[in-house]
């Protein structure tokens, strides 16, 4: 199939890259997850029903016998998993509600929460991205419960993603919630679309960073790296 035809049909001309280039080089077009304006017109139950039907078609086209006991329930399971679990972060209803506390202890150094494990999925191949997020912020007078940092990461991870966007979406959310520019997000992840297919590189990992406000100085970056290495 001519991938250029597809991208031209959709009206995308990304600096001459074909749809295939975009997928394999993991280029992306926007810092916001590209969503349709009517993304939430369908109820979750309707979405699960539709996905189940469509996924059984994929399995059928691949030649799988859907009457087999082991495969029979797969379309329903995949539909439920997509809507309720691994892509639940597409729905703003699922965004974690964040409560802030006064910074009673007047702790105004950086706070680092490291090794937050997350599972996401590559938006170009729909296979897993597995990684760790490290977050740092300096309080502007308010502090956030530590489990909330984790929840923010999980919310944005549960979307079809590219790592750069995931990094920025987490950073933007932290800046808004904490009302400060002084946030840092570092993500170290493995993309199964790189390790299990395509170039089949099993050892490489991708690191993306966001250093905002006071964190965007060589001294602070070095200090942060020092915490992460210990």
Residues that bind Zn ion (CB under 5 A): 122, 124-125, 193
* Chain centre distance of CA 85: 13
Identify the H or E element spanning 209. Answer: strand 206-211
C-alpha 230/C-alpha 223 separation (Å) is 11
Order of strands across the sheet with 160-161? 160-161, 110-122, 128-138, 183-191, 206-211
Identify the H or E element spanning 44. Answer: helix 44-61
Name the catalytic one among 57, 134, 163, 225. Answer: 163
Query: What is the nearest approach in angstroms of Zn ion to the Cβ of residue 162?
Result: 8
Query: What is the nearest approach in angstroms of Zn ion to the Cβ of residue 202?
Result: 15
Query: What is the nearest approach in angstroms of Zn ion to the Cβ of residue 122?
Result: 3
122 is annotated as an active-site residue:
yes
26 is annotated as an active-site residue:
no
- Determine if residue 12 is labeled as part of a ligand binding site: no
Beta bridge pairs of residue 117: 132
Name the catalytic one among 20, 113, 123, 214. Answer: 123
Return the number of the residue (97 or 200) whose C-beta is nearest Zn ion.
200
Name the catalytic one among 134, 154, 161, 191. Answer: 191
Name the catalytic one among 154, 161, 169, 193. Answer: 193
Name the catalytic one among 93, 122, 169, 214. Answer: 122
Query: What is the nearest approach in angstroms of Zn ion to the Cβ of residue 24?
Result: 8
Return the number of the residue (124 or 158) whose C-beta is nearest Zn ion.
124
124 is annotated as an active-site residue:
yes
Return the number of the residue (82 or 211) whose C-beta is nearest Zn ion.
82
| Secondary structure (DSSP) of 60-118 | HHTT--TTSHHHHTHHHHHHHIIIIIITGGGSGGGSPP--EEE-TT---SEEEEEEEEE
- Determine if residue 122 is labeled as part of a ligand binding site: yes
Contact 173, 31 (CB under 8 A): no
Contact 142, 105 (CB under 8 A): no
Query: What is the nearest approach in angstroms of Zn ion to the Cβ of residue 22?
Result: 10
Return the number of the residue (124 or 159) whose C-beta is nearest Zn ion.
124
Return the number of the residue (146 or 207) whose C-beta is nearest Zn ion.
207
C-alpha 183/C-alpha 72 separation (Å) is 47
Work out the number of other CB atoms within 10 angstroms of the CB of residue 17: 17
* Residues labelled catalytic: 122-125, 163, 191, 193
Q: Which residues are annotated as a binding site for Zn(2+)?
A: 122, 125, 193
Q: Which residues are annotated as a binding site?
A: 122, 125, 193
């Amino acid at each position: 199939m001519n991938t250029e035809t597809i991208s031209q049909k959709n009206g995308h001309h990304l600096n001459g890259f074909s749809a295939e280039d975009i997928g394999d080089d993991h280029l992306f077009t926007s810092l916001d997850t590209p969503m349709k304006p009517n993304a939430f017109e369908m109820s979750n139950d309707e979405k699960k029903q539709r996905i189940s039907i469509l996924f059984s078609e994929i399995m059928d086209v691949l030649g799988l016998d859907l009457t087999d006991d082991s495969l029979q329930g797969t379309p329903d399971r995949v539909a439920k998993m997509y809507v309720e679990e691994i892509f639940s972060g597409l729905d703003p209803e699922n965004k974690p509600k964040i409560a802030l506390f006064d910074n009673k202890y007047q702790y105004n150094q950086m706070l680092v929460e490291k090794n937050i494990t997350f599972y996401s999925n590559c938006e170009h191949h729909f296979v897993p991205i597995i990684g760790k997020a490290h977050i740092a912020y300096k309080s502007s007078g308010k502090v956030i419960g530590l489990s909330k940092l984790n929840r923010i990461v999980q919310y944005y991870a549960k979307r079809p993603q590219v790592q750069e966007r995931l990094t920025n979406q987490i950073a933007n959310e932290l800046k808004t919630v904490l009302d400060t520019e002084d946030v840092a997000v570092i993500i170290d992840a493995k993309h199964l679309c790189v390790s299990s297919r395509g170039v089949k590189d099993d050892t490489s990992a991708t690191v993306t960073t966001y250093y905002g406000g006071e964190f965007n100085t060589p001294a602070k970056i070095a200090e942060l790296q020092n915490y992460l290495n210990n």
